[in-house]
Structure 1
Amino acid sequence: MKHLCGFLESPGCKLETLSLMDCGLSEISCDYLAAALKSNPSHLRELDLSSNKLQDSGVKHLCDLLENPGCKLETLRLECCDLSEISCDFLEAVLNLNPSYPREVDLSANKLQDSGVKQLCVLLENPQHQIETLRLMDCGLSEISCDYLAAALKSNPSHLRELDLSSGYSISSTTKNNKLQGSGVKHLCGFLENPGCKLETLRLSDCGLSEISCDYLAAALKSNPSHLRELELSYNKLQDSGVKHLCGFLENPGCKLETLRLMRCGLSKISCDYLAAALKSNPSHLRELGLTFNEKLQDSGVKRLCGFLESPGCGLETLGLDGCGLSKVSCDYLAAALKSNPSHLRALDLQSNKLKDPNVKQLSDLQQSPDYRLELLAWS
């Protein structure tokens, strides 16, 4: 690292992206980096130090770089770096001195806790700050964090484009899931329904949500529907009743959602009925639908979904149905739907359904035909 820093502090260095993920670095490395980059700060745009044991003391050293007026860093990734809420304190203090940067901050898989988020929210509510992407996956958050976030973002709503509060992604044994629960989502919805909210991506995978969370989300998004493009709610116990609530948003003419992921949410064929009806009434925007590992969908659920797929306005490009208890009958339904609307679907995932070669022959034939767009067919 010390040798690398000799290059970084060279006046001729114009490096824009520096990625040192999982390189065995410690807080001393941050001291070297900060010193080198302070002498030549204006070119670096992206810094990724994820999966290194930097600890809070390492972040404190990095802050010497971030507070430099010449620093134009746009992306800062510190995922899984053994940080605590103290790092949020350091970052909040220094970034308020140079509020135009960074635009993307990833602090996932660190033990930030609600107290850390509270510190970050002081930064978020600064009208001068322009953070567009904030990722806090697996940070040990509760519904209190959602309260802090909603309050801060309601006072400064227009910049944030992506918010990720998901759980279950970290392999670190020292981090904890985000258990936001329905009450947490209810707090967040105060921000989502704000007319100034321009959020495009919301990820809440494995956050302990239930069907009541879908009710809160649908109500908020119906009042401000046009900006959200990606909604990730996988690995929550939404059940069919939760999907029914969501469909009130999906069928809203103002809804422009392009990606919806509901993997392992305890859904059955009834959810397919709700989804098909809602999407047939507003079909043109959705590009990806993920229903993976909802074992109760069965062939009858796919039959209902095909009512949407064969709709002339359907522009779906990616459909995930792996692990949904399907048989050859589903393949027949899907092939028939694609023949009636051949131009859009690019990727179809049917893995973990115990299908055999003869079961997917019709779909394989479509994949080989130049009249269809199907590029990826996964089924084994």
Structure 2
Amino acid sequence: MKSDRSMDRPIKFCLGDTSADLSLKPEGPESPIAKNNLDSIFKELEQKIISVMKSELKSFRRLLSPDYLECSERDQDNDEGHSRVKEWLLKITLHFLRKINQTDLANRLQTKLMPVSLQTLKSRLQDKYQRINEGMSNLGDSARLNEIYTELYITEGGSGEVNNEHEVRQIERVSRRSETQETPVNCNDIFKPSLGQDKPVRTVLTKGVAGIGKTVSVQKFILDWAEGKANQDVHFIFPLPFRQLNLIQKNLSFMDLLNHLHTETKEIKSTDYDDYKVMLIFDGLDECRLPLDFHNNLSLTDVSESASVDVLLTNLIKGNLLPSALLWITSRPAAANQIPPECVDQVMEVRGFNDPQKDEYFRKRINDQRLADRIVTHIRSSRSLYIMCHIPVFCWISATVLERMMGKAERSEIPKTLTQMFTHFLIFQTKLKTQKYEGKYEINPYLAGKTILSLGKLAFEQLEKGNLIFYEEDLKKCGIDVREVSVYSGVCTQIFREGFGLQLGKVYSFVHLSVQEFLAALFKLLSFSEQNTGLENVSMSPMTSLLKGEVDKALQSENGHWDLFLRFLLGLSLESNQTLLQGLLSKTISSSQRNQETADYIKQKIRENPSPEKSINLFYCLNELNDRSLEQEVQTYLSRTGARCLSGVKLSPAQWSALVFMMLNSEEQLDEFKLSKYDPSEECLLRLLPVIKASRKAEGEIGMQAREPKECSANTKWQKQQQTNMARELKQQLKAKFYSVPTLKSNPSHLRDLDLNNNNPGDPGVKLLSTLLEDPHCKLEKLQLWGCSVGEEGCTALISALRSNPSHLRELNLNFNKPGDSGVKLLSALLEDPQYKLEKLQ
């Protein structure tokens, strides 16, 4: 009697009916009475479950019906137990919908059953991102994004190397490439794995120069999602711009961070994020002021645990925190290396507008289509303007200026150079500010000059420091009234966000780096004008001395960081541009004689043969000075000789530079480079390296031997350095005619077709070529090695490279070589293996 065996088991009332006669004691697990009782209980249980499931399925079906009204009933169940049951049934339904390949239905159902607060988030983001302020602060007029948005040219990949070159130099290089060199990607598809990539994409890094359209891409992506047009498998998108994150000084958890920046998330429990697909967008890595210490920061896995913003970010990016979330990071190229490569699954490059997209932008932006066509024609007539139109912000600047000037038939000369365009833009913004905020139509030269001088001082001092964003104390040091600068909405954009109990403040930046450089150049000229009044009659003009010094300064900059500043300074030195700025300059400080002296000095520097990139900038500088004599000289020479090709043509170093500049700035895209059209000399090849790099296809017999630098005839620093690097590598590894590979290795992702037929690289040369092929950024699809003395050793290196990077090479020609039986067998195996893309083997 004292044992537990004499007691009945407790009744489980939640199982339903307990009306059975409890006086009948079960006689054991096999008792017929117990079995009948269980059958009865589970039959009733089955009926109840089926009934609830049917009811919920009907509810789900109703939600997915085209006739369903969003504003109709939305069950609010206060019974926590019943609510939990419905949650389980939803998970089961979603699981089986996906099992039967109805993923879209599953996503729609899950979206419709999201908490109301998160649907509010989606609506808020839609309201926020449906309008755009092009280059303007919130004080400016906005337009509907969908009405003026022009698709951007976005491509996969890009090398993992840091590019510290000036961004306009990068833009000019991009503009030379044929569009067939890269595979374009739609902005909404950036999280789709690329061809041959099996691993799902969690983190995407999108690179692009300032003003190229990264932030607008983010805005369009969010808007399309919020409007239900794309990426509906993503349930929540949380924009987290670095400009906002920089200003948070306190420790907080990831949940708190979201709650502060997106108040709708306060009702969400941390476990809810496991059930939904979440995307975090970190826009503007280049503006990040956090250390992002990936190596020393503590590991963090709990979204409710507090830490600094820096620790939260590094753990999110490494995947320790919220590993199921998708991450999108945007950055200028020079800052992209802050993210460890192993943390990035896919790299995209925003290339701005290609040529058809430029035209489309102007036709969308300008309502009068006849005027739009005239503007497009004018922009196309100036290669420097048309190249800059790769940058959407510059398209906006050009549209702002040209619509006003060409539409109202003003007598002023229509801008043909960058300096003229930016000068008119500054005048327009100054007039706009005077009319809008002072109710006047005449500019007060003294007040306008004072404000612009202060802005220019800020631009110049911050440019010297390499800063693109600044704070209130930076403005105050330059004598700028924060309230005054905010009304120059097109020139200086105010980024401000009310904080929710956090230490947020104001951040300032110019709408684009080029605007900052223009104002910096104007400041330099205005300062010079004030300091040198009355000193222009001496033998060596102070103005000429200033400009020559700035030319030397730009040439000494390896990365071209003063290139555009120099172009603007030279352009502003012209009397015609100074006349436009009358009232700002104390006097005109220019003359045709001094301009010619400056142009002659630049041509002297071109003859001294700096690197191709520096020569190209010097030609743009000559264009700003309206001097095209070197280009005309080459044109006249070629016309006189009637040369259709340049084989055997002897050109001076300055003429070579002019020819390269003309080829790179031709309206015809450089799709194919044939060395046979040119003089097959060492000098010719070195001179034409920029053209080879810009071409999609390179072919021709290279008839020169690798020599030690002391045997080379070149006498300039750049050419000696180029030949030293090349000859060292070639002498050690090739000992034959093979100059192409070092050139290609510097830019492997653009070349698709390489024809080296009838050269003699031998096995050492093919080994070097194999290092190019195994580079993951190499996209070479067709390789011609006919008669190249390739033996078994070279063939083995080639096969090893193809195994390392199997995704791209489709055609390989090894005719008239000796790969041996083993090499043929291994190559044939690659041809038959579906893992490799090789389709044609000769």
Structure with the larger RCO, 1 or 2 (CA within 8 Å, 6+ apart): 2
TM over 0.5: no
| Bigger proportion of residues as helix | 2
Structure 2-normalised TM-score? 0.20
Greater Rg over alpha carbons, structure: 2
TM-score (normalised: structure 1):
0.41
